[in-house]
Amino acid sequence: MDAKSVYGLVSVAVTLIGIAPYIAGMLRGHTKPHMFSWFLWGFTSWIVMAAQTWDHAGAGSWAMLTAALVCTSVFILCFWVGEKNITRADWVMFSIGLAAVPAWMITKNPLLSVVIVSLVDLVAYGPTIRKSWTKPRDEVAFMYMTAGTWQAFSLLAMERFTLVNVLSPASLLCINCLFVPYLLIRRRFTDG
């Protein structure tokens, strides 16, 4: 087995290791994900995975496929155990995210599609960031730490280093590296 395949398998394993306590927390009622974020993350993960497959990312796309399956599963679970407080700001961010969908469908250009969905991914953090301001313990920091880790391994696993293949995991790596300290700092302020 070559190094790229090993990195690809590690990225998949880290994704699954990271989501396990998140889903367990959801089922116990401790973790309350925002369904708008998870819908958009699932949707964009499917698009990025398709673009990466088209651009021959190889093992580098395995984690994105896993993420697409995971995000879609979490979104479905949100109907039963997700955040129920949906604000006007959440609807605005969700609408902005959805507004990019027609642009993606029209482009027929994988790079432009990945640029658009990478921006949607960033907007999709909005509802989760807003909710985490007052309820930082409703999110599992470990999951976001492992997300940054799988994205790094996904980049190492790329067969071809093109913008189509690396833009989304690189931007997600950056936002997760910023979101984890945000969660931890908010916990210190809200805990007392």
Lowest mean pLDDT among 18-32, 56-70, 98-112, 115-129: 98-112
The answer, yes or no, to whether residue 97 has pLDDT greater than 80, is no
Q: pLDDT tens digit string along 43-86? A: 889 989 989 999 999 999 999 999 999 999 999 999 999 887 88
Exposed/middle/buried for residue 111 (C-beta within 10 Å: 0-12, 13-18, 19+)? middle
Instruction: State the pLDDT confidence band at 89, using cuts at 50, 70 and 90.
Output: confident
Q: What is the 8-class DSSP label of residue 55?
A: T
C-alpha 2/C-alpha 157 separation (Å) is 10
**Residues above pLDDT 90, as percent of the chain:** 61
Which structural domain range is residue 146 located in? 3-191
Predicted TM-score of the model (pTM): 0.87
Per-residue pLDDT at 108 exceeds 80: no
Q: Compute the average pLDDT of residues 21-29.
A: 94
Q: Which of 87, 88, 89, 90 is nearest to 39 (CA)?
A: 90
Report the alpha-carbon distance of residue 7 to residue 68 in Å, rounded: 18
Query: Residue 48's closest CA among 127, 132, 112, 140?
Result: 112
**Total domains in the fold of the chain:** 1
Query: Angle at Cα 46 formed by Cα 160 and Cα 100, nearest 5°?
Result: 105
CA-based diameter of the chain, in Å?
Answer: 51
H or E element at residue 130: helix 110-134
| Mean pLDDT taken over the chain | 91
